[in-house]
Structure 1
Amino acid sequence: MESDEACRAALVTDLRRCGQDVHAVGSGREALETGTGFDLVLLGMNLADLDGLHVCRLLRSVTDVPVICIGSATSELEAVLALRAGGDDYLVRPYRLRELLARIAAVMRRSTAGKQPPSLVERGQLSVDVQRCEVRFRGRSVRLTRKEFELLLLLAKTPGKVISRERIIREVWGGSWSQRTVDTHVSNLRAKLGDRGLIVSVRGVGFMMARQ
């Protein structure tokens, strides 16, 4: 979340080049509308419409997603206020991309430390048993291949969030397969589940699981 368009575009380009999936917004209101459902939020303190600290507090009241606050002030007070508002880290401009990536990795490690992944992911009439690799949909068992199961689980973890083909290839196939492979597996999943509307195609980007 960055108000300056040039800075926002440059940051998005750098993060995507490093393999990150990025969704960028330019205002505090947009941030509050879209700030949930992500793995991490980069929050600029100098937003055009709302105070960054206020946005941070509101985000923290509705989600536990990690937040890295980015500000221009070098004073200790602003950093303390950002952390008290619910930020997990505070980064001062100007900064190098390598430092940002290191802080992202550190915050993500802290946020996931001690958390056990759920053994059962349920989305409406869909039930995915992670440990047994079993899937049930609308009360019936659905037999999937290992890759189909991993793809379905990836989408089911974040319904309503678009997962890029590049990320799917990286996380399911280790980056060694083509985008056509993803399309084929999605088609197979739809056929086996018997519901083409459950997995939504986002043209030119990837796929997402519909909210139920």
Structure 2
Amino acid sequence: MAGFHVRSVLVTGANRGLGLGLVQHFLRMPKPPQWIFAGCRDPKGQRAQELQNLASKHPNIIIIPLEVADPASIKAAAAKVGEHLGDSGLNLLINNAGILKLNTLDTEILEDMSEIYTTNTIGPLLMGQAFLPLLKKAAQGSPGSGLSCSKAAIVNMSSYAGSIEDMYVWDFGQVVSYRCSKVLPDVAGGEPRHFPLQMITLPSNLPLSLCPSLHCD
């Protein structure tokens, strides 16, 4: 744990909430990443003001325009990150971006379901595909043969709401589409066997001491 260190990390949905908290956490580490790529939909918008302020004080933060529901935006982001990192590759991809709409079984509509599934379920898959070459570069260029977040990893932020065993706070909020969208990351979180890349799924509603789970070597 004490030896956890990554040279580069990309966090999606980094303009507020847990995503912004992750960026701040990485900055506070004894050995912060050399590069922190902070992806968000509208880097110049009001909702990204706190992230902009942070980036103005820390030159290792690079804000990337990124809409995870848009394949063209993902492709452009991967190209920009790849151009910046070159042959060193990307060590850590954190798929944090997600949306939620307060619908019940009675009020759920197709448009909302499609939007939520595209962002929360399909988005992380497309991100993994687009950034896989950069993750491979980092994994192959890192010492050691074991799996490690310090080597190369994809972290998918899931939710207890996606549990099919425990209907977490159903009476508080049914959020049907959101719950369904968070099931697949748990199912698809296996680790590829043909190269050293670790895949981790974390519940997004963990207490915000947040990253002990990432301190894996």
Q: Would you say same fold, with TM above 0.5?
A: no
Quick check: which has more Rg, 1 or 2? 1
* TM-score between the two structures when normalised by the length of structure 1: 0.29
Could you state the TM-score of these two structures normalised by the residue count of structure 2?
0.28
